Structure 1
Amino acid sequence: MGTTRPTAALAAVLTAAVAVGSLALATPATADPTPAGTYRKLVGVGSDTTQDVLNALAGDIVNGKNYAATAVTAEGAGLASYDALDPVTGAAHGDIRTRQNGPLLPRPNGSGEGRQALSASLVGSTFLSSASAIGGQVDFARSSGGPSATGTALTFIPFARDAVGYVAKGDFLKNLTPDQLKEIYSGSLTELGGHPVNPLIPQSSSGTRKFFLSAIGIGSSPLGSNVHDSVGGKLIEENRADGVILNDGDLIPFSAASWIAQTNGIAPDRSTTAAKGGAFIGSVALSGTTATSPVAAAAGGLAPNTDYFDNATFGRDVYNVVPSRAIDPTGAFFDKALYDVFVTNGAHKAALASDDAKKVIADFGFLNESYNGSVNPAQHAKLGALESGAAQGLPTAVRSLTATTGAGSLKASWTAPAASDLPVTDYRVLVTRADGSLVASKDLLAATTSLSLTGLPAGRYGVEVYANSLNGAGVSTSISASVPAIPKSASKVTAKAAPDKVAYGKVPHIAVTVTGTPTAVPTGKVTVREGKATLGTGTLNKAGQVSVALSSRLTPGWHNLTVAYDGDSRFNGSSGAARLGINRASASVSAKAPASVRHTARAKVAVTVTAQGTVPGGKVQILEGRKVIATGVLRGGKVTVTLPKLKKGKHVLHAVYTGSSTVAPVSGRNTTVRSL
């Protein structure tokens, strides 16, 4: 795993020393959506480990701080994050209501129950002791661990990086190896250095419990008879040391991020009494005999020790679990708000990966990773089955798949598969060409058992259909069929120069309309020609129209044009005619001559001829009255003409441009020259 992380993840510069100290006294904590009676679209339940940071990202009040300014929303939808325990009484499984007028459901306590509640919400079944089914009451689950069953119904989206260690009391427990932890929790090591060891463990649905036992190599093996998940008859909740770590020798698995957030006064403090009584977070020998603490001292408190968090055994990703079908943009059950909040995919960035969100995540003791929000199993995402106790079978194949074809059309029809453990929710239909390329991929709700496509080119097509349940896709059924060509209809080309005459140097346009049947519009290309020469091409728009631009250098005069339509899959080609007139360009001439000249000298006149869209060429004459007294040839639209010697007196002169094949002639204004 890479070590480069967002700056916000460190919270402060780490120092070499590890200062644990006493945890700060907590201010009153508020959790669940606030104020009471608040309902939001995206409902989450589950893990104790991530409940506080999700409460903050939901914009609620956490440990006395209001996070409304950095609340994460998408599509106008906000998060509603419900604690694992009642935030007032601390009781487990008290009823909550997540939708206005919705049914009551027992508060899910921990990662496992959070995933079970999400699964029950999808299946529409009851949850724990709920009197009513809870369909549609939960949208995502907070989970500090991965799937408990193989499948694809649920996607575990990495949210942040945590690590699991242990909190203990007694100096002889400050540094332990994984083997010692395994022996302690399997019951074979009951004392250290003559001191008795009292291993404790969170209640069974805790994700931290499951992860810790796996990390030390116990997994689902039996725990030692001296390992207890309750104190004083009350089940132990994860990441709470108060009332649990009481005596030397006591130890319990603990989230490093939770210890950091509680120590720094960011999360509600559930370990004050234990810390004041000497409880600490222990160090683990990750390799060899050198023990590594999960936390490091930082300015103002604690921060993650990246060496420990990066460890493949004790470091862990924590997840937000969502229905896989809800984050498939091509599916019938796509939930854009859920997708926008949780998923980073290509250029699409999860709202939970914004700079503001990452700062909040880091404040709660977690590390931000580059892969957070990924739904790719190659990038830390995981897939799992439903966990509500529902059957895990997949649908069987659809029955009676047929394909009915017509001219350019194909209709696939089928009947539902035989009854399966879970009902069919939707059908995925794939239509491919003979070369295997995809023509269409449609996800249809279960009530629809046919798909029609039109406008298909002639050829052979394959149709594949499979049924989906909440557990995933069933076996596909395939069929192939040949689609005949659509008989082509006649088309008609109407073309006209717009305007019908333009000056040389300006771009002329031919307005073309191609019509077909009353219910269909031709598509494709048109070509404008004069004789065999192509003057321009264009592509018809949705209305069957196009304006084709021609060259601004067409010779003056009338042009008889042919406008040809190539045809398309529905229409035969056709042609029409248009007439375009090109006028010679209009010009203007200016002359600059000296006001006076000696009669023994020859005056010079500077002449400039201009025209829009072209540079005039040809001759310029200087006239006195009607008599031509000098001429010149334009170069780049300019010429300097030398006059003959003028008799003494006033001479009224003007310049005349004689024109060319592309520019019309024009006469300039009079100018007076006095010969002295």
Structure 2
Amino acid sequence: MSKFTKWGVGATALLATGSLLLGASAAQADPWDADLESYTQNRPLNGTGSDTTQDLNNGLAAVVRSGGQLVLGSWDATLPTGSGAQGTTIVTHSGGTTIPRPNGSGQGVAALKATVAGTTLTNARGTSTGGATADGRLDRTDLQFARSSSGPSSFAASGTYSYVPLAVDAVTYAKGASSAVPDGLTVADLTQIYQASAGQTVSLSVGSRVIGTASTSGAQIVPLLPQSGSGTRSFFLSKLGLTEASLGSAVAWTYTAGGVTTDVQEHDGAALAAVSNAIVPFSIAQWIAQSNAASLAANYGVSVLDRRHGAVLAPVTVGSTLVQPTTGTTPVLNTAFPLTRPVFTVVEHAAIASNSTLSATFIDDPATADVVEGAVYTAKRSATAQFVIEDFGFGSLINRDTDVNGVTIQGVTYKAGDAESIRTN
């Protein structure tokens, strides 16, 4: 089986890319080739899904090569802009199925499963059409991976799909720049808020507050969630000890601005700008990447849309300690934050053996303890020692000082490229 090593990706593939990025005329998203200055189809590996990891995957797609060819085609959850961009539907290769663009982890995984099952795909953006069978059924040539910011809801030791750990993220609650919502809420406070009824007064560690919807008179905290199917939504609720069924009536995942009602999009502060005293779970890595949008565009030739709209990340209180979401003057993810999570690449397990490009890009061989295979984990920005994963705000699952692979979160150790530990049907 062919493999990329950490040295091969860092030294060879990225040097080949670096000079091309300097000539890019505009920063873009979706599969963008800085050499051709255009969106491209027909990459060996295509995937959709999580908003959380779309920008990181776009950065990886700009530098990871095999035989001089860009390998990854990562298709955004949000609609990209720019001349030649595909819209609410995508076609990943010549003659491929027209796929309604998946938005979020759940929809991305559903799309991957449709390729394996050979079925059509329907989501909020439509139903698949065309393709090899001309009737909208997807096949394995359309998609080879999915992005997911949460693990599966159930596990199977010999499951059809592997959730392969990619990097470390963390989630906190975000609020508007002028919001009266206090910093330093505890996880227990957030649980009470998200199970409250509209108009209910709850006793929090910071004092009593009225919890409500945008239309509740006197609401001091308005709890919002990202759209249904969001991996961040499911992760956040799991950490609060809540389910969809136990959410209170004060919780909403749509908001109205200018007379238009819109879903709350993951990691987008528009709802916080529109709704007074609103809070919403927000990926810390995404917030960092959006704050670095200009430098990421210059360094990678890809677009990270700054959609924070003034959103501020709030610290949380653990015991008597106020824990900040970021550290340093140039913000980096605080990997000791209490709401830390792994993010994943989802692949069909059987494809690992049959698709050498897939395995070389995402999969570590546990038999080689002295090196981590999988190009994405050690890919670097061109002509620098800076790893792509950290550049886009995430934490590495590999200790960069010792090369030891594995980070323990809530008693579970997640290793970069591990395709065996987390499987599901």
Instruction: Please confirm whether the aligned pair reaches a TM-score higher than 0.5, indicating the same fold.
Output: yes
Aligned CA RMSD, in angstroms, stands at: 2.6
Residue 282 in 1 paired to residue 276 in 2?
Answer: no
1:57-96 alignment runs, 5 A limit: 57-59=60-62, 70-73=63-66, 78-88=71-81, 94-96=88-90
Query: What is the aligned partner in structure 2 of residue 228 from structure 1?
Result: 252
The answer to whether the aligner puts 1:101 opposite 2:95 as a matched pair is: yes
1:176-197 CA deviation, whole Å, 9 max, x = no partner? 0111111111125557556621
Structure 2 matches for 1:287-298, cutoff 5 A?
287-298=318-329
Alpha-carbon offset, residue 37 of structure 1:
4.3
Query: In structure 2, what is the equivalent of residue 174 of structure 1?
Result: 183
Tell me what 1:374 maps to. 418
Deviations 1:389-417 (A, max 9, x none): xxxxxxxxxxxxxxxxxxxxxxxxxxxxx
What is the identity, as a one-letter code, of the residue corresponding to 1:85? Answer: T
Is 1:363 aligned to 2:391, yes or no?
A: yes
- Which residue in the other structure is 1:239 paired with? 267
Q: Which runs of 5+ in 1 are unaligned?
A: 1-5, 7-26, 60-69, 329-333, 386-676
Paired with 1:142 and 1:338, the residues of 2 have a C-alpha distance of 14
Q: Give 1:204's match in structure 2, choosing from 228, 232, 251.
A: 228
Task: Tell me the SS of whatever aligns to 1:361.
Answer: helix
Alpha-carbon distance between aligned partners in 1 of 2:86 and 2:229, rounded to the nearest angstrom: 12
2:123 counterpart of 1:125? no
TM normalised by structure 2 equals 0.72
Q: Give the counterpart letter for 1:374 in structure 2.
A: D
Pairs within 5 Å for 1:418-437: none
What is the deviation of 1:138? 0.7
- Give the Cα separation in 2 of the matches to 1:52 and 1:100: 24
1:245 to partner: Cα distance: 3.4
- Aligned residue number for residue 344 of structure 1: 364
In the aligned structure 2, how far is the partner of 1:336 from the partner of 1:302? 37
Where does structure 2 lack aligned partners over 5 or more consecutive residues? 1-5, 7-24, 33-37, 130-135, 203-207, 211-218, 297-302, 398-404, 406-414
Q: Which has the higher helix share?
A: 2
Q: Corresponding residue for 2:10?
A: none
CA deviations on 1:373-399 (whole Å, 9 max, x unpaired) are 12242xxxx1111xxxxxxxxxxxxxx
Q: 2 CA distance for matches of 1:302 and 1:141?
A: 28
Change (3 A) 1:280 1:384: same
1:575-614 correspondence to structure 2 within 5 Å? none
Distance 1:178 1:227 in 2: 16
Deviation at 1:104, TM superposition (A): 0.3
> TM-score when scaled to structure 1?
0.46
Q: In the TM superposition, what is the alpha-carbon distance from 1:349 to its structure 2 partner?
A: 1.2
CA contact (8 A) 2:194 2:247 kept: yes
Counterpart among 271, 284, 302 of residue 307 in structure 2: 271
Letter in 2 for 1:133: R
Contact 1:85/1:93 (8 A) holds in 2: no
1:75 Cα deviation (Å)? 9.2
Change (3 A) 1:269 1:80: closer
Q: Distance in 2 between matches of 1:366 and 1:111?
A: 17
Give the aligned partner of residue 116 of structure 1: 110
Give 1:74 deviation, angstroms: 6.7
Q: Does structure 2 conserve the Cα–Cα contact (< 8 Å) formed by 1:75 and 1:336?
A: no
Tell me, what secondary structure is at the counterpart of 1:338? Answer: helix
The one-letter code sitting in structure 2 at the alignment partner of 1:307 is A
For 2:167, which of 160, 166, 177 is the aligned residue?
160
Distance 1:165 1:325 in 2: 36
Task: Report if the CA contact (8 A) 2:160-2:424 is conserved.
Answer: yes
Structure with the higher strand share, 1 or 2: 1
Q: Which structure has the bigger radius of gyration? A: 1
Query: Structure 1 counterpart of 2:249, which letter?
Result: S
The amino acid that maps onto 1:297 is G
Change (3 A) 1:106 1:344: same
Counterpart amino acid of residue 419 in structure 2 = V
Q: What is aligned with 2:349?
A: 324
Amino acid at match of 1:350: G
Write the distance in 1 (CA, Å) between the matches of 2:269 and 2:151. Answer: 24
Question: Any conservation in 2 of the 1:106–1:127 contact (CA below 8 Å)?
Answer: yes
- Name the CA distance, whole Å, in 1 between partners of 2:161 and 2:68: 22
Q: Which residue of 1 aligns with 2:401?
A: none
**Secondary structure of 2:387 counterpart:** helix
- Evaluate the alpha carbon distance shift between residue 289 and residue 73 of structure 1 in structure 2; reply closer, same or farther with a 3 A threshold: farther
Map 1:400-549 onto structure 2 (within 5 A): none
Q: What's 1:384 paired with?
A: 424
Quick check: 2:80–2:87 contact (8 Å CA) kept in 1?
A: no
The CA deviation at 1:269 is 3.8
For residue 312 of structure 2, what is the amino acid of its counterpart?
A: F
CA contact (8 A) 1:264 1:302 kept: no
- CA deviations on 1:97-123 (whole Å, 9 max, x unpaired) are 011111201001100000000000011
| Deviation by residue 1:449-478 (Cα, 9 ceiling, x = unmatched) | xxxxxxxxxxxxxxxxxxxxxxxxxxxxxx
Distance 1:354 1:284, change over 3 A: same
Q: For 1:41, which of 28, 44, 58 is the aligned residue? A: 44
